[in-house]
Structure 1
Amino acid sequence: MSASSKLPPFDPADPLGIDDLLDPEDLAIRDTVRNWAADRVLPYVAEWYEKGELPGIRELARELGGIGALGMSLEGYGCAGAGAVQYGLACLELEAADSGIRSLVSVQGSLAMYAIHRFGSEEQKQRWLPSMAAGDVIGCFGLTEPDHGSDPGAMRTFAKRDAGGDWVLDGRKMWITNGSVAGVAVVWAQTDEGIRGFVVPTDAPGFSAPEIKHKWSLRASVTSELILDDVRLPADAVLPGVRGLKGPLSCLSHARYGIVWGAMGAARASFEAAVSYAKTREQFGRPIGGFQLTQAKLADMAVELHKGILLAHHLGRRMDAGRLRPEQVSFGKLNNVREAIEICRTARTILGANGISLEYPVMRHATNLESVLTYEGTVEMHQLVLGKALTGLDAFR
């Protein structure tokens, strides 16, 4: 660089210049999702959270379909076919509004639609994916059970073949996002042939999905139990493309990638609230942002936030190149969710008592992230995934 070259100005919103890594299409997708969330979620989400509901979820799903956010990284069948980084940017912007909205999109696209797209028959794909991409049909993903979360291989839900070739499903699934509003459920069950996935229309006799209430996290989200009592399905309801745990686990890896980005959205919203508050809140005759201890907190938060976004971007480029390993996704989820929670907690200290008010987003994001920390792989499970990868020794059992 010559002495006459002029450096670009420092941007507090992008201190590392990460936007330089994005092309115009990336930025356009990010801005489209950000603007949608600002218009359709942010003005209302505090009230939704306080009431513990997500009203108009079907309308929101159709709007999300309209901007191409549902199954956006999938090809064909009405899906946007976006790149992994573009999908990640969408997840970041959605979770900056609320984790519940990102969960709606993630479960729809990265779990239910992804399972059908990757493992389904052509008939299953044609029947379900276009309407799911449009948001006309909401999907859910039934893996976790009341007694089996981190150990899905021990699931008790069972599917048996009837004499006529039909399948009959019995069991329970728990903590299922979108369950009570879904038109289709991808349900994983034990069979005499090993674990299989089933595409279950939710109007099938014997299927019910009571909503789970009294949550203190992800309150602006629909969470349900799935009950399957002798649910009879035709022979072609089974996903033909996979057997065993590799089916649901590959879906979870795809969804976890979105969380790597999404957690940084929650962290960014809390960080921005803390910066804004620190510049206007006065104590001892001056803004608290002018005190060394507050600036130290903000600097540390900014470092972890933008390191996390860089990590997410790196993993996205690896996914686009077909080189992203599940262990690397575990690396990202473990780091970014853990750091996002710490950023939210630190932001709360800067806001003081106001940090617990729904007038600000900080406590809402912090409590949401407590769920994100646990679902789709707890901290301990991702530590063990990395531990096995680092040592070659399996410590799960």
Structure 2
Amino acid sequence: MSENTELKAIQEALASIETSLGTKLETRLNEIKAGLNVPDQDAKIKQLEAEHAQLKADLQGLEAKANRLDLTGGLRAGGRKSSGELFVESQEFKGRASGRFSVTMEQKALTSAAGSIGSTLQPQILAFQDAPTEPHIRDLLPSGQTTSSVLKFPQRKSLTNNAAMVAEGAAKPQSDFTFEMVTTEVKKIAHYIKASDEILADAPALRSYIDAQLIDGLREVEDAQILKGDGTGQNLLGLYTVATAFNRAQAGDTLLDTLLRAKTQLRLVNRTATGIVLNPEDWETIQLLKGSDSHYVWASVPDGNAQRVWALPVRDSTRLAKGEWLVGDFRRGAQLFDREQSNITVANQNEDDFIKNMVTILAEERICLAIFDRLAFVKNAPA
């Protein structure tokens, strides 16, 4: 018998005994009031009390085991938690006595958020369903934190490597490294949604709201800014915007050929590609490539393949148009800094939320993108 089935059976038996015990106790009380002495009834009550105590102990043991095995719908120590789960488990949410409170969740936890809605409010035993994590462009970049609203960093402009073999007593050659100090500002991404006041009491629904509507919304705009921000106004300066144009095209090349040539273009200037970003339709083109015998050369139709090309991780993004792609040294060429990690604020004291039993749930973050080496990125920009 599985733990779920056994736990359910014990719960049902316990409920039945509690009902029977209550009935017999009430009957015995009436008999005592009437001056009746019924030893047989007293023995049955003692037997039910003993059975009740044993079943209660069994139930507590199974519930503890269920918690360890995550039968109630959430991962335990070492497991991943969604951004919504982090929010509803926070002390700020649990102690929400005022009309406004906020919770900041660590980016590390959000990056690995599973998107699960977790356990229900009822004592129902459900198997945990681990939803796939939606990949984003930030996953390709190293991350950091800053305490300032303005970030200054050295940007590599040129490198002349004159290292050589040197004879004893001979002059050593000089290499030239040119850097420029660049200043960039932290930018804010934010949006909010309206929800009924009851959602605050319904933890699973609130988790789903935060995961599906708020955090994903921030990430979509973040992807667009990391790739194509123009650096003006409230926009970041994006990687695709500053990347070097691809210049090694050959007639008859497939998209797979072209991406390998772009990887080589970086290697020829002493950079090493660590990732690829392209449009979903172009990614589909790669997956549908067939050999002369009509077999798929890249993908396994039943199982698919990991999103990798030429040993590089691939992110497909609608923020790039069909025909556009970016190959880069994401690990060394740039870094994403968080000034404020994803922050959820809930309030019912603005506008007419209070009288309508509504709440406003706001999500925002403040980030900054430092591009250390513009030559670390190669792009295809169709005419």
| TM-score for both structures, normalised by structure 1 | 0.22
In terms of fraction of residues, the more strand-rich structure is 2
In terms of fraction of residues, the more helix-rich structure is 1
| TM-score for both structures, normalised by structure 2 | 0.23
